[in-house]
Structure 1
Amino acid sequence: MATAMPAGFRALPLPIAQLSLAAVLKCGQSFRWSIFPLPPAEQRVLDANVPTYEYRLCLRDRVVCLRQSMDTLFYRAVFPPTVSGDHQEREAETLAWIRDYFQLDVDLVDLYRQWSLADPVFHRVRDRFEGIRMLRQDPFENLISFICSSNNNIARITKMVKSLCFTYSPPLLTLPPPAGSDLTEEPYHPFPSPSALAAPEVTACLRALGFGYRADFIQKTAAMLVDAHGVTVNSETTLEPSEAWLRTLRKMSTSDARTELLKFMGVGRKVADCVLLMSLDKREVIPVDTHVHQIAIKHYGLRGATKTGAMSPKLYEEVSTKLAAVWGEYAGWAHSVLFTADLKSFASYGLSPSTPSTPSTPALTPGSVSSGESPGVATPGSTPVSSKRKRMQSKRVRSKLVEMEETLAQLATAVEETLPTDGDSSLADRVKRRRRGA
Structure 2
Amino acid sequence: MILTINDDLDLAKIADSGQCFRWERQEDNSYRILHGNHCLYAASLGGSQYEFSCDEKEFSSIWRDYLDLNENYASIRSRIEPDRDPFLFAAMEQEKGIRILRQDSWEMLITFIISQNRNIPAIRRSVQLLSEACGQRKLDSRGMEYFAFPEPEAVAALDEEALTACRLGYRCKYVHAAAAAVYEGTIDLDSLIHEEEEKTLKTLTSIYGVGIKVANCVSLFGLHHINAFPKDVWINRILEAEYPNGYPFEEYSPYNGVYQQYMYAYYRNRA
TM-score normalised by length of structure 1: 0.58
1:282-319 deviation per Cα after TM superposition (whole angstroms, max 9, x unaligned): 111110122211101111115xxxxxxxxxxxxxxxx7
1:204 aligns with 161
Distance 1:92 1:174 in 2: 17
Distance 1:191 1:173 in 2: 14
Matches within 5 A, 1:178-197: 186-197=144-155
Q: CA deviation at 1:147?
A: 0.1
Q: CA deviation at 1:275?
A: 0.7
2:243 aligns with 300
Quickly say closer, same or farther: Cα 1:20–1:207, change in 2 above 3 A: same
Distance 1:190 1:325 in 2: 39
Quickly say closer, same or farther: Cα 1:334–1:60, change in 2 above 3 A: closer
Q: Is 1:57 paired with 2:33?
A: yes
Distance 1:298 1:326 in 2: 19
Give the secondary-structure state (helix, strand or coil) at the position aligned to 1:127. helix
8 Å Cα contact 1:175/1:188 also seen in 2: no
8 Å Cα contact 1:62/1:172 also seen in 2: no
Tell me which amino acid in the other structure corresponds to 1:35: R
2:252 aligns with 327
Structure 1 residue corresponding to 2:60, chosen from 70, 92, 95: 95
8 Å Cα contact 1:18/1:131 also seen in 2: yes
Structure 2 residue corresponding to 1:246, chosen from 176, 186, 189: 189
Q: CA deviation at 1:19?
A: 1.1
Matches within 5 A, 1:38-437: 38=28, 53-59=29-35, 62-68=38-44, 69-77=46-54, 91-117=56-82, 118-173=84-139, 176=142, 186-199=144-157, 201=159, 203-228=160-185, 245-301=188-244, 322-343=247-268, 346-347=269-270, 374=271
Q: CA deviation at 1:175?
A: 5.8
Distance 1:115 1:150 in 2: 32
Distance 2:42 2:75 in 1: 24
Distance 1:99 1:113 in 2: 23
Give the secondary-structure state (helix, strand or coil) at the position aligned to 2:145. strand
8 Å Cα contact 2:204/2:210 also seen in 1: yes
Tell me which amino acid in the other structure corresponds to 2:237: Q
Distance 2:98 2:36 in 1: 26
Quickly say closer, same or farther: Cα 1:287–1:59, change in 2 above 3 A: closer
8 Å Cα contact 2:36/2:107 also seen in 1: no
Tell me which amino acid in the other structure corresponds to 1:268: G
8 Å Cα contact 2:235/2:264 also seen in 1: yes
Q: Is 1:36 paired with 2:26?
A: yes
Distance 2:108 2:263 in 1: 21
Structure 2 residue corresponding to 1:20, chosen from 1, 7, 10: 10
Give the secondary-structure state (helix, strand or coil) at the position aligned to 1:18. coil
Larger Rg belongs to: 1
TM-score normalised by length of structure 2: 0.91
1:97-128 deviation per Cα after TM superposition (whole angstroms, max 9, x unaligned): 22211211111111111123542212223332
1:412 aligns with none
Distance 1:323 1:196 in 2: 43
Quickly say closer, same or farther: Cα 1:297–1:59, change in 2 above 3 A: closer
Give the secondary-structure state (helix, strand or coil) at the position aligned to 2:95. coil
Q: CA deviation at 1:154?
A: 0.4
Tell me which amino acid in the other structure corresponds to 1:36: Q
Tell me which amino acid in the other structure corresponds to 2:224: D
Q: CA deviation at 1:223?
A: 0.9
Give the secondary-structure state (helix, strand or coil) at the position aligned to 2:32. strand
8 Å Cα contact 2:178/2:207 also seen in 1: yes
Distance 2:240 2:172 in 1: 35
Q: CA deviation at 1:200?
A: 5.5
Q: CA RMSD in A?
A: 2.0
Aligned residues: 269
* Identity in percent: 27
Give the secondary-structure state (helix, strand or coil) at the position aligned to 1:274. helix
| Higher RCO structure (Cα 8 Å, ≥6 apart) | 2
Quickly say closer, same or farther: Cα 1:61–1:123, change in 2 above 3 A: closer
Tell me which amino acid in the other structure corresponds to 2:52: Y
Quickly say closer, same or farther: Cα 1:282–1:158, change in 2 above 3 A: same
